[in-house]
Amino acid sequence: MTAANEARTILERLGAGGPIWSSDGLEVRSPIDGSTAGRLAETADLEPVVARAVEAFHAWRRVPAPRRGELVRLFGDELRAAKDDLARLVTLEAGKIVSEGLGEVQEMIDVCDFAVGLSRQLYGLTLPSERPGHHMRETWQPLGPVLVISAFNFPVAVWAWNACLALVCGDPVIWKPSEKTPLTALATQAVFQRALARFGDAPEGLSQVVVGGRDAGEALAADPRIPLVSATGSTRMGRAVAQTVAGRLGRSLLELGGNNAMIVAPSADLEMAVRAVAFSAVGTCGQRCTSLRRLLVHESVADALVARLKAAYESLPIGDPREDGVLVGPLIDAAAAEAFEASLARAAEQGGEVVTGGGRLDRDGIYIRPAIVRMPAQTEVVMHETFAPILYVLTWSDFDQAVQMQNAVPQGLSSCVFTDSVREAEQFLSAWGSDCGIANVNIGPSGAEIGGAFGGEKDTGGGRESGSDAWKAYMRRQTQTVNFSRDLPLAQGVRFEV
Ligand code: NAD
């Protein structure tokens, strides 16, 4: 059976088959072998989708938050039961290796648990009023329908980060998944429907999937009935969405491209650094927003580290991500391979020297050899995110210079330092250290835990999702003042007698 047909079979097993197929819709492909499973009918009319979400909001916001959490708890149960099938779909549709597919669904389950706890902790504040017999408080209210636009490389986890929080916050969710991974979205929706059936009295339209491409995303982002647009994808997409949403004074939460670096100091444990580089630079075939793209190594250890990395890269098992032991699966499509080759050519023009990798494997699907390229400086090609496994290696002689190099790119997602020096580690984490949303010590830039707020600065878009107080983006803050006295004093002592 082809990979795409296996995906179709799993989808049907999860209860999402049937009339979703059409002769002229979105083509469903698997990057594993380039096979196609047919075409999915695109959502023809977006108007009723938004109308249903608004109606669901009016009912859902009246449901107590801990009861809303109960729905997410049931969803977590259903995800546990469907974990293997859903993870397999992630592998078949996005090309992730088995353990990464399972990890992605585990992340959804973890976010469910987090959100259930949160449903009893949507804390506000009480504030002392300057007026006698008055009481002030700050309360967080449900916001309204949330649009989630997601990228192909985390086809389900990113939606879960958003949806689980939005649902406990009282907001329905409209999901516009990547046109490259619609099956995982439909499968997730089918799993969610099981939770809804057990929950009993949730409004219709609490969670909806829109099958479509960029046009559907653009149209939904422009709709003033959607107060929050959470968009994950390229910086190009984020700029377009930000302008549309700002134009109607809506709120956007943007999770965009990264250009993540690792600084390796002379005292670093090179064995750990090699393992961290391998996972974060070639995992998911370099198609993570947090993939390691720049290795900034002290000149005294650069040759030793590069030699070890070269050996590690040359023994990488590349191939069908369903097979045991494979660590590098396919790129998502031919366009990604062209971008990979074009960036390697530009790097060579800009003085780069390929240490290892580059080129395609001769087999069905798009399989390439992850590359390491030594660069003389952070030239134009280094400044861009190429969504493929290219690791640029640069050297430094002074730690201040290393931090400056780390911060010198337009993106600001994830960063890390490998060092045994407390001074270097603390400087990296200080106000004049890394300018990224994520900064790690002796850990690679990739594979964040859900408990922290996830996101980045500058061209990465500034959004924060998942843990910490990211939930506040999905709610409306209200300052409330109650007068329980028999007088009507004005603030700031203003007198206005009539
Ligand atoms: P992409 O920008 O091509 O597409 C992402 C989504 O946006 C898709 O659903 C697409 O249909 C939609 N879209 C595209 N243009 C749009 C527009 N003008 N208006 C509305 N919607 C639009 O990205 P991709 O190739 O699927 O994913 C790779 C990119 O995503 C990389 O840049 C990666 O770094 C980034 N990413 C970031 C994070 C993060 O959390 N920061 C996570 C995953 C991926």
Report the pLDDT value the prediction gives residue 414, as an integer from 0 to 100.
98
Is 134:218 a contact under the CB 8 Å cutoff?
Answer: no
Best mutation site among 232, 259, 383 for ligand 1, i.e. most ligand atoms within 8 A of its Cβ? 232
CA dihedral 98, 102, 105, 111 (to 10 degrees): -140
Task: Report the alpha-carbon distance of residue 349 to residue 375 in Å, rounded.
Answer: 11
| pLDDT computed for residue 23 by the predictor | 86
Q: Who lines ligand 1 at CB under 6 A? A: 149-154, 158, 176, 178-179, 213-214, 217-218, 221, 232-234, 237, 240-241, 255-258, 289, 385, 387, 413, 460
Phi and psi torsions of 244, nearest 5°? -60, -50
One of 255, 385, 424, 465 is an active-site residue; which one? 255
What separation in Å is there between the alpha carbon of 232 and the centre of ligand 1? 5
What number does CATH give the domain 260-441?
3.40.309.10
255 a catalytic residue: yes
Q: Is the domain 3-256+461-478 a CATH 3.40.605.10 member?
A: yes
Ligand 1 center from residue 238 Cα (angstroms): 8
Give the rounded distance of the alpha carbon of 49 from its chain centre: 24
What's the confidence (pLDDT) of residue 445? 98
Measuring from atom 40 of ligand 1, which residue has the nearest CA?
255
Prediction pTM value? 0.97
Quote the strand ranges of 257-359, DSSP E: 260-264, 292-298, 353-356
CA of 156 to the centre of ligand 1 (A): 13
What pLDDT does 409 receive? 98
Q: Which pair of tokens denotes residue 90?
A: 């992630």
pLDDT per residue over 56-80, tens digit each?
Answer: 999 999 999 999 999 999 999 999 9
Q: Hey, what are 147's tokens?
A: 């649009």
Atom 41 in ligand 1: residue holding the nearest Cα: 255
Rounded Cα–Cα distance for residues 253 and 180 (Å):
22
CA of 236 to the centre of ligand 1 (A): 8
Among protein residues, the one whose CA lies closest to atom 12 of ligand 1: 214
Element (H, E) at 347: helix 334-349
Number of alpha carbons in the 13 Å side-chain half-sphere of residue 368: 31
Nearest CA to ligand 1 atom 42: 289
The contacts of residue 302 (CB under 8 Å, 6+ apart) are: 393, 395
In this structure, the residue with its CA closest to atom 26 of ligand 1 is 151
Please report the pLDDT score of residue 356 as a whole number: 98
- The DSSP code for 191 is H
Distance spanning both ends of the chain, measured CA to CA: 84
Q: What is the pLDDT along the chain (498 residues), one digit of tens a residue?
A: 999 999 999 999 999 877 788 888 999 999 999 999 899 999 999 999 999 999 999 999 999 999 999 999 999 999 999 999 999 999 999 999 999 999 999 999 999 999 999 999 999 999 999 999 999 999 999 999 999 999 999 999 999 999 999 999 999 999 999 999 999 999 999 999 999 999 999 999 999 999 999 999 999 999 999 999 999 999 999 999 999 999 999 999 999 999 999 999 999 999 999 999 999 999 999 999 999 999 999 999 999 999 999 999 999 999 999 999 999 999 999 999 999 999 999 999 999 999 999 999 999 999 999 999 999 999 999 999 999 999 999 999 999 999 999 999 999 999 999 999 999 999 999 999 999 999 999 999 999 999 999 999 999 999 999 999 999 999 999 999 999 999 999 999 999 998
Q: Where are the domains of the chain?
A: 3-256+461-478, 260-441
36-40 and 173-176 as β-strands: parallel, antiparallel, unpaired?
unpaired
| Rounded Cα distance, 71 and 47, in Å | 26
Q: Is the dihedral of CA 325, 328, 332, 338 positive or negative?
A: negative
Distance from Cα 214 to the centre of ligand 1, integer Å: 9
The predicted pLDDT at position 198 comes to 98
pLDDT at position 124: 97
Q: Which amino acid is at 108?
A: M
Taking the C-alpha atoms of residue 88 and residue 336, their distance in angstroms, rounded to an integer, is: 22
pLDDT digits over 262-307, tens only? Answer: 999 999 999 999 999 999 999 999 999 999 999 999 999 999 999 9
Question: How far is 281 from 416, CA to CA, in rounded Å?
Answer: 13
pLDDT in the model for residue 20: 85
Residues ≥6 apart with Cβ < 8 Å to 108: 79, 156, 157, 160, 164, 188
